[in-house]
Structure 1
Amino acid sequence: MLSKKVSANKSKDLLKNLQAQQRQPFVAALFAGGVITVTVVIQAALLATIISQLILTHHFPIHLVYWLMVTMLIRAAAGFVKDQFSAKASINIRASLRKRLINHLAQLGPARNIIDQDGGLSTTIYEQVDALDDYFSRYQLQAMMCVFIPLAILICAMVVSWFAFAVFMVTAPLVIYFMILVGEKAANANRKQFSVLAVLSNQFVDLTRGLFQLRLLSRERQAEQRLKDSAEAYQNTTMKVLGLAFLSTATLELFASISIAVVALILGLGLIKQVPGFHGEIFLNLHDSLFMLLLAPEFYLPLRQLGADYHAKQKALAAAEQILEILDVQLVQPTKEKSLFEAQTNQPITFENLRWTIDGRNLLSNVNLTIQPNERIWLSGESGAGKSSLLNILLGFHLDYQGKLLIGEHELKHLTLDSWRKTLAWIPQMPEWVSGTLAQNLILGLGPVNDTDVANALIQAEAADFIKALPLGLDTSISELGSGLSGGQLQRLSIARAILTDAPIWLLDEPASHLDSETGQALYKTLEKVTRNKTTLLISHDTHPVDWCDKALVMRHGEIVQQGGIDES
């Protein structure tokens, strides 16, 4: 129970901090809300005066009609300004938050998997960030309007009719109470909906990535049924959220309608002096009765609108909890800033008694290794041996290790990570792509690159021929999964991308693991050419290294248990 309360408080703090980033638009929208409050009272007073004079004196005050029209125009304009500024604030908040989340995940690197799979994380970045829209664009300002307008009307009621004041004071807390009661249930339903959506997203991504293997194993039907079950679960949770939202709105409409009816009935009976049990103290003249009757719907209107938007607050709190799961994962920062050696200068990489422990598990234990400049090393071992952990530390994603990791004479923890990563070229098992053209994917993050360099990189990666065979060449579009190209072609594109970085250190994480034997051998021949004069660490499950590596290492249980030349392996 305590953890749930702490989580709710942290979510509220996050929303407050996000709102503080857009102070000026919210202040402008709040000022427009104050103008609306004033026009509500003036509009009711003018309309009551016009109608009462028309009935009692048979005189139509045309000048008051003009003032009424001006007031209505001002109210409409103020409403438009309020909505525009709040919408602008919401757009800016979500854009900056989405950028913050993407940068955070990028710095986490492979460590992001401790939060969720990529499908669930993408759902958080897009769906749940967008779930904050109604909170910032509508709910926050509407909450303030529920203070401004009812307070102004209560002041008028105190002066004009104590009975209307009493009805407002009794019914308003009931409306708020039922709004909160139903809203809490909606919050729980929203949390469940987000969780189910994350599961559905992860399953969809896994199915897309593993479709080829599923077909080989004839397991498409089982995967399809699993995805269908998750989709139905998401549909059910969505309908529950909608049901609670409709229930909240219906409850508030009921209380508001009954309260307005009571005020109208009593004021109407008061005009003909037929209120049972009361005498002159409750009777109002026509103008004051009309004034109160016109203000009664305005009193409940902000509360009703807030009730309709209250589920937006609960939805935002539930979304904020998911967002905080990402932001709460601490980034390991270098202990101090120093200038890194020049990228063109090759330096030895030295591991001295390197150890790394997470949650009591020893992922790396007493790793001692020196990689000389331009040396190419084959590192093999079974799954879980610690190969990827060693690679992730080299990439700078985990700096909470013990022991030493020296780049030349500098400890990695003391270096500027951006400068260090500029010296690295990384080719993973499954290269990652963005939706766009092949050209855009090749130069992504590299800054200005001329066409000659791109053409030379494609030739060295032996990708130029199949690129030329494509109808649109480098302007061919691919999806995030690289649709339309084979695994070998995608890996050759990733090699070309690595060549364009001009990095002196190459880190290769099982580049041929998803390729057939023939394609894999051809890929290794290409790598032999492009990694000459490069410091290279090649990770593989295969215990038989390629003959062009200088040294073969075997890793087991987080330790390097065997070192030697290729001939010795």
Structure 2
Amino acid sequence: MDKQLQRDLTQWLKSQSKLAKRWLMLSVGLGFLSGLLLVGQAALLANILHQLIIEHTDKYELVDQFIGLIAIVGLRAACSWGREIFGYRCGEQIRLHIRQLILNRLHSLGPAYIKGKPAGAWASLVLEQVEEMQDFFARYLPQMSIAVLVPVVILVTVFPINWAAGLIFLVTAPLVPMFMALVGLGAADANRRNFKALQRLSGHFYDRLQGLSTLRLFNRADAEAENLHAASHVLRKRTMEVLRLAFLSSAVLEFFSAISVAIVAVYFGFSFIGELNFGHYGVPISLFTGLFVLVLAPEFYQPLRDLGTFYHAKAQAIGAAESIVEFLNVEADEMAAGDQELPSPETIEINVSDLEVLSPQGQVLAGPLSFDIQAREQVALVGPSGAGKTSLLNALLGFLPYRGSLKINGIELKELDHSEWRQAISWVGQNPLLVHGSIHDNITLGNTLATDDHVSLVAKQAYADEFISRLEKGYQHQVGDRSGGLSVGQAQRIAVARAMLQGGAFWVLDEPTASLDANSEKLVLKSLSQAVQGQTTLMVSHRLDQLSTIDRVLVLEDGKLVQNGHFDQISHEGLLADMLSHTDKRDLNA
């Protein structure tokens, strides 16, 4: 990673800290207060020892100083506790903001872009990498200010007492940050490599976990276990590289801090035996002066050492921020959305003219296309794999950008409020997605207005009640992630019931029976035929023998609309005829 990129990422991280400026200032303020108390604590401790050893003062006469010392120690402990709390709040607030930025960007890019990476990689970006920024905001940023303020306070206190000790502090202080920077030069690169390895492993592991049954079916489990072992070995090497740099940084800082404190101790030692006679403004060095400065000496370097310790947090945050900033600044065409209301949402009419569907990177996926879907018309969309059917659906749903015209009830889709437009859509896909929760939760899917009677009604209409009633807990039966515990047919019927509860005027059916057995297919088709009566419907279908009941068929090939008309009119020629002939041959061979 070049230095300019590191500076840019550091600047971006610091700009995010403005959101929690109050917590940051409180943390710094308590650190500064702790530094002031530290000077008082050192003065009291040195004075007590001077009185007891040199002045031979009775210890009972120093009770008030002992009480003051205990009070200062307690106040410093309270300041440390407050710093931790305020620092955590600072990091928490900024992490929530950054995570929301990522989620907003994911929402704006849409599912078509999200599918380009494994789910594990997105999870690593949103969870682990954002969490790795906590110490940067909670510890490193406040420590940057404290590492300046506290040593300045100590210097201002020490110089009037002994300029030689103050000069030693002043000369040796830059050694700590200088060597901290030298050791930390490669830390950001090491962390970046570590996060990249973590993303790859997360994505790889999550995808293989999802397909575990398939891997076992084809006897590939052992081979994939070896691949996971190799990926985890890379992550282990990257993690150990980061830890090695962190330990090296701490060791170097401790070494130079110890040398600096030793120089101060040697100076006072030789001064006490009369070998050195400078630095004390002509006033003999007393035990109070020596103890006072020696108590402050390690505390002078402690903020700098802490900054060095937390410098690893900076490198870690920079490594995490690279992927986050890269994602937030990714150049991708987003589906523009307006704020106009959808007119007459109870009926949907679609007009497409010279439409070109674009990928997030700006490439043309399908088009130009021109066709109309009239209100309450049922239209089928067919074509070979790669013809552009899914791309067209994603554009209609507002998930992909486009050029040309795509009007819903006379309003351009770019000008519509997409959330309102999607409320008018009832969707049933070929792979029903059920989330972890009860069957009732999966049918309502956050619809708080749905009553139990309404849920039961749509379940009966979708023929889902026949298996729900046999379950021990009925509608409260728990479903695992990705339809765990239910067959594909049962999950699809729940998805149909969910679409019925949505009550949209525009039904989008993406091969809803592609993965079903004959009995489930019959029930799903029967429920769907009843649900879409009188509704505008667009159905992607691989069952060409069922198209005769559809009002109109759109045939796509290589992103172009090659046929448009009723099944009986276009089934004797062109691409649809070829597809029908191939279907018939497969049926005969079967």
In the superposition, the TM-score normalised over structure 2's length comes to: 0.89
Return closer, same or farther for 1:412/1:55 CA change in 2, 3 Å cut-off.
same
Cα shift at 1:128: 1.0
Deviates more, 1:176-185 or 1:99-108: 99-108
Return closer, same or farther for 1:488/1:9 CA change in 2, 3 Å cut-off.
farther
Q: For the residues of structure 2 that align with 1:441 and 1:210, how far apart are their CA atoms? A: 23
Write the letter of the residue equivalent to 2:493. R
Q: For the residues of structure 2 that align with 1:263 and 1:109, how far apart are their CA atoms? A: 62
Which residue matches 2:122? 121
CA contact (8 A) 1:364 1:386 kept: yes
Q: For the residues of structure 2 that align with 1:91 and 1:360, how far apart are their CA atoms? A: 36
User: For each residue in 1:13-37, what CA deviation from the matched residue of structure 2 results, as whole angstroms up to 9, or x when unmatched?
Assistant: 4423432112222222222122112
User: For each residue in 1:259-291, what CA deviation from the matched residue of structure 2 results, as whole angstroms up to 9, or x when unmatched?
Assistant: 112211221222122349999979622111111
Deviates more, 1:541-550 or 1:411-420: 541-550
**Matched ranges for 1:156-305 at <5 A:** 156-275=157-276, 284-305=285-306
Cα shift at 1:534: 2.3
Aligned to 1:368, what secondary structure does the other structure show? strand
Q: For the residues of structure 1 that align with 2:168 and 2:555, how far apart are their CA atoms? A: 81
**Matched ranges for 1:103-502 at <5 A:** 103-113=104-114, 116-275=117-276, 284-329=285-330, 332=334, 334=336, 336-344=338-346, 346-358=347-359, 359=361, 361-399=363-401, 401-502=402-503
Deviates more, 1:223-232 or 1:43-52: 223-232
Deviates more, 1:538-547 or 1:167-176: 538-547
Deviates more, 1:61-70 or 1:287-296: 61-70
Cα shift at 1:63: 1.5
CA contact (8 A) 1:163 1:282 kept: no
Return closer, same or farther for 1:278/1:12 CA change in 2, 3 Å cut-off.
closer
Aligned to 1:363, what secondary structure does the other structure show? strand
CA contact (8 A) 1:374 1:535 kept: yes
Aligned to 2:250, what secondary structure does the other structure show? helix
Which residue matches 1:97? 98
CA contact (8 A) 2:132 2:320 kept: yes
Q: For the residues of structure 2 that align with 1:468 and 1:487, how far apart are their CA atoms? A: 18
Aligned to 2:485, what secondary structure does the other structure show? coil
Deviates more, 1:268-277 or 1:444-453: 268-277
CA contact (8 A) 1:427 1:509 kept: yes
Return closer, same or farther for 1:203/1:548 CA change in 2, 3 Å cut-off.
farther
Q: Where does structure 1 lack aligned partners over 5 or more consecutive residues?
A: none
Q: For the residues of structure 2 that align with 1:181 and 1:513, how far apart are their CA atoms? A: 61
Matched, 1:49 2:42: no
Return closer, same or farther for 1:381/1:208 CA change in 2, 3 Å cut-off.
farther
Return closer, same or farther for 1:409/1:5 CA change in 2, 3 Å cut-off.
farther
Which residue matches 2:88? 87
Q: For the residues of structure 2 that align with 1:386 and 1:276, how far apart are their CA atoms? A: 89
Which residue matches 1:77? 78
Which residue matches 2:38? 40
Write the letter of the residue equivalent to 1:194. F
Return closer, same or farther for 1:301/1:468 CA change in 2, 3 Å cut-off.
farther
Cα shift at 1:540: 4.0
Return closer, same or farther for 1:510/1:322 CA change in 2, 3 Å cut-off.
farther
Aligned to 1:160, what secondary structure does the other structure show? coil
CA contact (8 A) 2:357 2:365 kept: yes
Q: For the residues of structure 2 that align with 1:371 and 1:295, how far apart are their CA atoms? A: 81
In the superposition, the TM-score normalised over structure 1's length comes to: 0.92
Q: For the residues of structure 2 that align with 1:194 and 1:200, how far apart are their CA atoms? A: 10
Aligned to 1:22, what secondary structure does the other structure show? helix
Q: For the residues of structure 2 that align with 1:520 and 1:188, how far apart are their CA atoms? A: 54
CA contact (8 A) 2:357 2:395 kept: no
Write the letter of the residue equivalent to 1:11. L
Cα shift at 1:333: 6.1
Q: For the residues of structure 1 that align with 2:112 and 2:123, how far apart are their CA atoms? A: 15
Q: For the residues of structure 1 that align with 2:186 and 2:200, how far apart are their CA atoms? A: 22
Q: For the residues of structure 2 that align with 1:176 and 1:165, how far apart are their CA atoms? A: 18
Deviates more, 1:121-130 or 1:7-16: 7-16
CA contact (8 A) 1:467 1:473 kept: yes
CA contact (8 A) 1:253 1:304 kept: yes
Return closer, same or farther for 1:276/1:487 CA change in 2, 3 Å cut-off.
farther
Which residue matches 1:11? 9
CA contact (8 A) 1:545 1:552 kept: no
Deviates more, 1:330-339 or 1:40-49: 330-339
Q: For the residues of structure 2 that align with 1:324 and 1:193, how far apart are their CA atoms? A: 17
Cα shift at 1:419: 1.3
Q: Where does structure 2 lack aligned partners over 5 or more consecutive residues?
A: 572-590
Q: For the residues of structure 1 that align with 2:279 and 2:30, how far apart are their CA atoms? A: 41
Aligned to 1:469, what secondary structure does the other structure show? coil
Cα shift at 1:227: 1.9
Which residue matches 2:575? none
Cα shift at 1:106: 2.8
Cα shift at 1:334: 4.0
User: For each residue in 1:234-272, what CA deviation from the matched residue of structure 2 results, as whole angstroms up to 9, or x when unmatched?
Assistant: 222122212211111111111111211221122122212
2:25 to 27, 30, 45: 27
User: For each residue in 1:92-118, what CA deviation from the matched residue of structure 2 results, as whole angstroms up to 9, or x when unmatched?
Assistant: 222333234224323322233376322
Cα shift at 1:125: 0.8
Deviates more, 1:432-441 or 1:234-243: 432-441
Q: For the residues of structure 2 that align with 1:117 and 1:280, how far apart are their CA atoms? A: 70
Aligned to 1:384, what secondary structure does the other structure show? coil
Q: For the residues of structure 1 that align with 2:32 and 2:281, how far apart are their CA atoms? A: 36
Aligned to 1:351, what secondary structure does the other structure show? strand
Which residue matches 2:587? none
User: For each residue in 1:365-414, what CA deviation from the matched residue of structure 2 results, as whole angstroms up to 9, or x when unmatched?
Assistant: 22011111222222122333211111111111233x22111112111111
Cα shift at 1:331: 7.1
CA contact (8 A) 2:183 2:245 kept: yes
User: For each residue in 1:454-502, what CA deviation from the matched residue of structure 2 results, as whole angstroms up to 9, or x when unmatched?
Assistant: 1112222222232233333333333432322222222222222222211
CA contact (8 A) 2:358 2:400 kept: no
Deviates more, 1:450-459 or 1:513-522: 513-522
Cα shift at 1:47: 0.9
User: For each residue in 1:44-90, what CA deviation from the matched residue of structure 2 results, as whole angstroms up to 9, or x when unmatched?
Assistant: 11111111111111113222111111211111111111211111222
CA contact (8 A) 2:106 2:114 kept: no
Deviates more, 1:517-526 or 1:31-40: 517-526
Q: For the residues of structure 2 that align with 1:382 and 1:478, how far apart are their CA atoms? A: 34
Q: What percentage of aligned pairs have identical amino acids?
A: 37
Which residue matches 1:510? 511
Q: For the residues of structure 2 that align with 1:518 and 1:6, how far apart are their CA atoms? A: 63
CA contact (8 A) 2:357 2:392 kept: no
